[in-house]
Amino acid sequence: MIKNFIFTCFDCDSCCGCGDGVRTITVVTCTGITGPTGATGVTGPKGATGATGPTGATGSTGVTGPTGATGATGVTGPTGVSGPTGATGPTGVTGPTGATGPTGATGVTGATGPTGVSGPTGVTGPTGATGPTGVTGPTGATGATGATGATGPTGPTGPAGTDGADGATGTADTLAVGTTTTGEPEDLAAVTDSGTENSHIFDFVIPRGATGATGPKGEDADCPLCGMNLFSAEGNYENGEPYVQFAATQLFPETPEDISADGSEIKLAEKGVYLINFKTDYTLSCYGGSTALLELNGEELPASEITMGERNGNSAGLYLVRAKADSTLKIKLKDYEKLASADFYVVITRYKIKSDEL
């Protein structure tokens, strides 16, 4: 190895005696091939410590030169008395670094020395990458199925779960009868719900029966109650009137002198037993209700009373009465001022009585 050292002198008298001005001295040291390490020599005797000389004045710091080769370590002398520290001079300019010389040839390897004490174990290095997966071998033949093992004991029953929260209280349904309509004989009976999800109103359509064929005339000799008339009438409540007013009427057989209607009166010309079926579809003008009942010859028939209590509704009654000839039948309204409207339908069946007794 060759090392170059450059020394720059600023003070020739106190530095390197290079004369006036600044001089640069280049020292080239050539290192030959390193030979084998020689045996360590015997340590010489310790020399006497010399007296410490006075500390000279600190000179100015020169330019830092290249580092010289390390010399052999001498015997450490005793530490002298520390002199007073001089003032620190200014730092000089750092000189340029010289070029690195070529590497010398490698020397002969010396004999292997004894094995030293094992040093501590180094840190484990990182795991290497996983190698590629090998080709999958062929699947072996399926082995025979082993015998089924015995059923294990039933495990203990788990604790009962907590009761869930009570559900919200549902809305109770209400039921009410709406309208009842008489249909034609060929119509089908029907029931419809005209209410809401929780308030049901059932409306009925009931077909009337077809008119039957006229039967043969029976013998009157042994019949105390025989013969028959059918009468029907339609009427309505007129504002402020306490009796139903009738308009359209029908009679079978057509003998008007037997049963007829005029205004609020239904005339019963013949004596007999009368089955009276009456019905109303009504609307109230205010809550509280109204009632209707039959009145025969000015006398109320309390058992025939029907109630009109819903705001919109219908009601019906059926009554059997004996009447003398030339009797007058009416439908009387009570609390009629609470009615907004009311339509009435009356069907009367008359049974003739042979006996003169009534």
**Length of the chain in residues, anyone?**
358
CB–CB of 232/345 below 8 Å?
A: yes
- CB-neighbour burial class of residue 212 (10 A; exposed 0-12, middle 13-18, buried 19+): exposed
**What pTM was computed for the model?**
0.39
| Residue 72 structure tokens | 């052999």
Ordered per-residue pLDDT tens for the chain, 358 residues = 444 545 454 444 444 444 454 445 444 444 456 677 778 778 778 878 778 778 777 767 767 667 767 667 767 667 667 667 767 767 767 667 767 778 767 767 767 767 767 667 767 778 777 778 777 778 778 878 878 888 889 889 889 888 888 878 777 888 888 899 999 998 888 989 998 888 999 899 999 888 888 866 554 555 555 557 788 999 999 999 999 999 878 877 766 568 888 899 999 988 889 999 999 999 999 878 899 999 999 999 999 999 999 999 999 999 999 999 999 999 999 999 999 999 999 999 988 766 555 5
Q: What secondary structure, in 3-state letters, does 73-125 show?
A: CCCCCCCCCCCCCCCCCCCCCCCCCCCCCCCCCCCCCCCCCCCCCCCCCCCCC
